[in-house]
Amino acid sequence: MSNPMNVKFPRQQQTAVDPEKLFTKLERIGKGSFGEVYKGINNRSQEVVAIKIIDLEEAEDEIEDIQQEITVLSQCDSQYVTKYHGSYLKGTKLWIIMEYLGGGSALDLMKSGDIEELYIATVLREILKGLEYLHSERKLHRDVKAANVLLSENGDVKLADFGVAGQLTDTQIKRNTFVGTPFWMAPEVIKQSAYDFKADIWSLGITAIELAKGEPPNADLHPMRVLFLIPKNNPPTLEGNFSKDFKTFVEACLNKDPKFRPTAKELLKHRFLKQAKKTSYLVELIERYRTWKNHHNDSDSSDDSDSETTTDQGDLPDWRFPGDTVKISGPKVLENGLNKLKIKSRSLQELLTPVLIQLKENKFQDSNNTSALDKMRANLEEAEDTCPGINDRLVECLVQRFRKYNTSASKMQDASH
C-alpha cells in the first residue's frame, strides 16, 4: 500500500499491516471535515482506544498539521498528555491510534452547569503539570483552551490537540508564528513579537476565566475583531463572586508583559491551587454531565450532523476536529495574516472604499472633509470586522432604495407630462 500523498509520519507502523486486523472499530464518536473518530478495541491487548481516521486526499491542506500533531505526541511521555499509540496507512486513509478518554472535555463539563472553584483549581493544576512537562521538553502547546483538555473516566486530566504545537530548539529562543485560537491568544503572538512558553500561560489565564464564566472574554465579538482588541486593551480580569486567590491567579497569568508572567512551575505553587482535590473528585462533574446529556439529548450533537453521532452511549465525549484554530507563518504575520483571515466584503473592496478614495482625491480638497472621509472609511472597516458582511447588506439596501426611488420619480415625471 503506497502513500498517495508521499507523506511520512513518525513511528508509523509498516504500511503492509492492515489496521482493521489489529483494531476493531466500535461506534463513531466524532466527525470532522476530513475524517472521523471511533471508539475502538486493540485486538491484541483488549485495550479501549480512540481511532482517528483521516482521508489524506481530502485533507491535503491539513497534512502539515497532522504531521505536527503526530510528531509532538510521539515525542511525549507524560501522564498529563494524551498518549499516542501509533499510526497506520491503508490506501488513502491514515489511522491514528490514541488513548481513549471517556470523560469528555473540560468544555463538555461546563454544559451541565457552573463549575465550583475547587474543581476549577483541580483542572488548572493538572493543566499546569502538563504545561510544565511540555515546557521542560522545550515544547509549546499554543492552543490551550477548555476544548483541548480531555478527561478520562477516572477524572485524569490531559492536554490534547497538538496540531499547532511548536518546538523551540537550542538556537531558537523564541518563535514568531501567528498561531492559536483568537480568544485565547497572547498579545505577543498576535503582534508577532518573539514569544516563548509564556504564551501558553496567557492562554491558561483565559481558560481559567472560561471555566469560571462559561466562555472566554469577548466571546460576543467576531474573532477577527478580538485580534485587534487583545493587544490594544487592558488584560481581561475575572469579575464576579470569586475568591481573591482565584482573581490573583488569573491576574498573574494575564500580564501583557510576558516577562512578568510566572512559569508553569511557579504557578503550581500559587495559593489558589492549594484547595485543589485529587482528580478522582472530577468524576462528580463527569457524572453530572452524563446525567445532563442523557436528559437533554445534547442538542449540539443531535442537531449537528458534523459532530457526534446519535447513539445510546450518552457518556461519550465530544471528539471534534478543530475548526477555529488559525496558523500563519512568515514576515508581517499579523498584517498579512489578518488580511487572509478576514471575511472580505466585496462591497467594501469594490464600491465603498474606491468611491471614498475618489471623493477624497477629486471632490474634497478641504482638510476637514478629507478627515471626515478617512473616519468614514475607518468606521466602515471597523463595522465589517465586528459584523462581517454588514457593508454588503448596506449596499444591497441602498440599491433597493435607489431603484424604488427611481421608479417613483419616473412615475411622477410621467404624470407631470
DSSP state of 240: S
Q: What share of the chain is helix, strand, coil (3-state, %, to 5)?
A: 50, 15, 35
143 is catalytic: yes
* Given 65, 143, 200, 318, the catalytic residue: 143
State the CB neighbour count (10 A cutoff) for residue 91.
13
Asked if 159 and 134 touch (Cβ cutoff 8 Å), the reply is: yes
Distances in Å between the alpha carbon of 59 and those of 9, 55, 56, 89? 15, 6, 5, 14
Question: Bridge-partner residues for 49, per DSSP?
Answer: 40, 99
DSSP state of 276: -
Name the residue type at position 300: D
Provide the grid cell at 241: 463572586
Dist. CA 37–CA 14, nearest whole Å: 22
- Find the helix or strand (DSSP H, E) in which 334 lies: helix 333-341
What strand order describes the sheet that includes 93-99? Answer: 23-31, 35-42, 48-55, 93-99, 84-90
Asked if 35 and 29 touch (Cβ cutoff 8 Å), the reply is: no
Which positions are annotated as active-site residues? 143
